[in-house]
Structure formats: structure tokens, C-alpha cells
Amino acid sequence: MTDELKQDFDSALIKHLSFKSKLRSFLYGSGTSQTPIRDPNVCSFGQWINTRVLKEYAHMPISHELNRVHIRMHQVANRLMDLLQQGHQDQAIAGLAEVDQIADHITELLRTMQQQLRTGR
């Protein structure tokens, strides 16, 4: 179970980091698809939260906090993407600092949740 749990959370972390990369690419002008960046239910990390976290770990308060912070990440991403599309690329890119703070919080929540599951707390 421990190896499966580690693999599951490592995979989730990779999905989360992939989101950050896609947002950054979009803000720097790549043709990245907007939908997975804009919609928290379409991105692969959001799908993991919906299918695993909010079902199997819903009894844990941290699971709901993770979902809330994830949705907040998408709200910020949408604001930055809108800024870019309005011609304010410098402001949009400056907003990546906020994205990094939220991303660090998500990473911390993932690690804490994994630890709680391992120790049975």
C-alpha cells in the first residue's frame, strides 16, 4: 500500500507541476490549449482530485482544503490569462509569483495528506 500511495501522490505532484508549466507557457506566448488551464475540472490534477481525493479521502478535512486551493489556482490563472489577452503581458507574467505561492501551498498539502494517510491520522 505504501508504494502505491507514494506513486499516486508522486503522479499527482507531476500533474500539478505540469499545470504550472502549461500556464507559464501560455503566458509567454505558446499556443497551449486554454481549457485545461482555465477549468479546474478539466486539468489532470483536478481530475485526480475529483476521482481520488474527494471520493477516497473525503473524510479528511485536508482533502477539501486541497480542492479549494486548487480552484483558487485556476481563478488566478484565469485572471492572468485574461490580462495577457487584454495586452498586459508584463502584468500577467508578474502574477506568476502568486501562482508560485499557491503552488507551494498545494505541494505542502499533498505532502501533508500523504503523510497523514501513511500514519493513519
**Span 9-67, pLDDT tens digits:** 999 999 999 999 999 999 998 878 899 999 999 999 999 999 999 999 999 999 999 99
Q: How far apart are CA 43 and CA 78, in angstroms?
A: 13
Contact 96, 52 (CB under 8 A): no
**Contact present, 92 and 118 (Cβ < 8 Å):** no
Contacts of 119 (CB under 8 A, 6+ apart): none
Prediction pTM value: 0.93
Report how far residue 98's alpha carbon sits from residue 52's, in angstroms, rounded to the nearest whole number. 27
In 3D, which of 60, 77, 69 has the Cα closest to residue 22? Answer: 77
pLDDT of residue 2: 75
Average confidence (pLDDT) over 102-107: 97
Q: What is the DSSP letter of 1?
A: -
pLDDT value, residue 100: 96
Q: What CATH number is given for 1-119 in this structure?
A: 1.20.120.30
User: Which three cell numbers mark 52?
Assistant: 481520488
Sequence ranges of the domains in the chain: 1-119
Instruction: State the chain's mean pLDDT as an integer.
Output: 94
